[in-house]
Structure 1
Amino acid sequence: MADRRRRVVIDDDENYTSKASNKRGASTNGQSSGSLKRTMRDDDSDQDSDHQASASSRSAGLRNGADIPPEDFERLVKDVVRLAIFTSHSEQALKREDIKNVLNDHTRLFDVVIQKAQERLRDVFGMEMVELSTKGRTKNANEKGTKTYMLKNILPVDLITADVIDWGQELEDIGLLMVILSLIMVRQGAIYESALMSHFRRLLLLEDNSPFGDIHKKLDILIRKRYLEKFKLEHMDDSGEKVEMEYRWGARARIEVPEMNVVKFIQEVFGREAPLELESSIMKAAGIKAKDAA
């Protein structure tokens, strides 16, 4: 009888121990299952973050031209710089389509390549590409972009006038150009060829021994380089209908030569004999407003 009670007690203890063990196992399994779920969620979150970071990296790479090998991107920049300098020396304008032809299959990188090429032109050559506008006077509200570019000299004035650069004959040509631009500007942007020749005659520039040689050939060169524009006009005078040629500032002049630089050039020509109101008189004749000069 006593032995049977001991076996019952032992059996009950074993059953209790087994049940407790099963409960602990179930609890442990629940915790493991929860941890596994959290781990899986964390892995999915990490994968999403990696995917977003990768997409962001690819987007940034596209903006910086990094979606192609660095050496290929550098080659595109050099090709554009070389093309810009070549067209400038050949006295031609650089067309947008010409640049796209150089980029070939990478036209989507047009903006970023142009930006890098501009930096190279400024830092190394002291020039930058500027889009030409339609024909007209400076600050004309009707002017529009032409998708055609030209190199502009951005060297500081003190460096241009210093002895660092040997301009040779080109310096004399610049002086002639400034005289012509001055005469055009004080006539509010246009001068008849007959009036221009009259000024040349007073300056002895129509003589056989003129330092500029054939002045008409010089004018043709300035027109070809887009510093001047020449128009054929028909108007009435006392003798009736008359055909006249007219000169205006060209696209390159409107880009490279600030009007106030021309005002200062005229003042330097007068020197110490310049009237006190010379600057205001020039600006009034040229139609330059004070806010434009500022």
Structure 2
Amino acid sequence: MSRTPLKKQNINEKNIMDIAYECARFIVFREGSKTCIRRDDIIKHLETTCHMVRSHFKEVLGPAEEILKQVYGYKLVDTGKNSYIVVLNTPCEHHEGIYDPELRIILIAALTHIYMSGGTVTEENMWRFLKEADLVGELEVDKKNILRKTFTEQLYLEYKRLEGEDAECIFKWGLRAENEVPKMTLLKLMSKEFDKEITFWPDQCRIAEEEEQKQKLQ
């Protein structure tokens, strides 16, 4: 026998929590792709499995976010485009979200280069850096496409063409990286590599410290 639609039930805490647990389970299942989860996809799933009425989604989402945080260690981030991404609730110093060690090294190297370069690098500059670091060869198109496409779709990186007829393409940090990769960790790696205090890079140090303070307030 199917459930009674939520709009015909007494809306109580148990109704909301039952649907919130299903919402959290669905989000965790979809998290494996590392791509955006459309708000409508979540709602349609809950309408189908729990007979939730669309207007009650906001009531369900709050408890679902708390379940994600307390049970799974995840945080739901609104992309501002009617979709969400799932990130680690606590920034990960070793970033285990990328399972291939080689790709993880390439990603961290790319993020570090962008961060130390002021937040944006041109595509040409990125390939030159990764080639000099002996991480991506000039003819390794597959690896380049991982940065252009895979890491972009997963929101670790943002890759776009600037305006203008002869404009270059640039790389920036993506929303997932902003939420999962602590800048202070990258700065300390640079400090160790070059045997310098982190204050040697004042702008990057300020940004990293501000990020740490923001994390403490959350």
TM-score, normalised relative to structure 2 = 0.73
Instruction: For 1:154 and 1:191, locate their aligned partners in 2 and report how far apart those are by CA, in whole Å.
Output: 28
- Cα gap change, 1:168 to 1:225, in 2 (>3 Å): closer
Cα distance in 1 for partners of 2:151, 2:102 equals 13
Q: Tell me the C-alpha RMSD between the 2 structures.
A: 3.5
Give the counterpart of 1:124 among 62, 68, 71: 71
Query: Residue 120 of structure 2 aligns with which residue?
Result: 190
Equivalent of residue 88 in structure 1, options 31, 51, 54: 31
Determine if contact 1:283/1:289 at 8 Å carries over to the other structure: no
CA shift in 2, pair 1:287/1:168, >3 Å: closer
**Structure 2 residue aligned with 1:148:** 83
Output aligned runs, 1:190-229, within 5 Å. 190-207=120-137, 214-219=142-147, 220-229=149-158
| Deviation sequence 1:66-108 (CA, Å, 0-9, x none) | 62593x5454223312331233223331233333333434334
Q: Could you tell me whether the CA contact under 8 Å between 1:188 and 1:286 is conserved in 2?
A: no
Query: 2:161, 2:170 within 8 Å by CA — same for their partners in 1?
Result: yes
Instruction: Give 1:275-290 correspondences, 5 Å limit.
Output: 275-276=196-197, 279-284=198-203, 288=207
Q: Relative to 1, partners in 2 of residues 1:171 and 1:111: Cα closer, same or farther, differing over 3 Å?
A: farther
Question: Any idea what SS the aligned residue of 1:288 has?
Answer: helix
Q: Relative to 1, partners in 2 of residues 1:68 and 1:102: Cα closer, same or farther, differing over 3 Å? A: farther
Instruction: Indicate if the aligned counterparts of 2:183 and 2:208 stay in contact, CA closer than 8 A.
Output: no
* SS in structure 2 at match of 1:197: helix
Q: Over residues 240-270 of structure 1, what are the superposed CA-to-partner deviations in whole Å (9 max), with x where a residue is unaligned?
A: x7442111111211222233233223224x1
CA 1:116–1:195: 2 relative to 1, 3 Å = same
- Helix, strand or coil at the partner of 2:41: helix
1:274 aligned to 2:202? no
Aligned to 2:4: none
Change (3 A) 1:110 1:221: same
| 1:65-84 map, 5 Å | 67=11, 70=14, 72-84=15-27
Give the letter aligned to residue 127 of structure 1.
Answer: Y
CA distance in 1, matches of 2:39, 2:177: 21
Unpaired runs of 5+ in structure 2? 1-8, 214-218
Identity in percent:
22
- 1:162-186: CA deviations, max 9, x gaps? xxx8x78434433321211111112
| Letter of the 2:85 counterpart | M
Matched, 1:256 2:180: yes
CA distance in 2, matches of 1:155, 1:187: 25
Partner of 1:114: 61
Q: 1:179 to 1:74 in 2, by over 3 A?
A: same
Q: Distance in 1 between matches of 2:158 and 2:209?
A: 26
Give the partner amino acid of 2:132.
Answer: R
Which has the larger share of helix? 1
| Paired amino acid for 1:67 | I
TM-score by length of 1: 0.56
CA contact (8 A) 1:77 1:117 kept: yes
1:99 corresponds to which of 42, 63, 82: 42
- The number of residues matched between the two structures is 201
Q: Distance between the aligned counterparts of 1:260 and 1:66, measured in 2?
A: 49
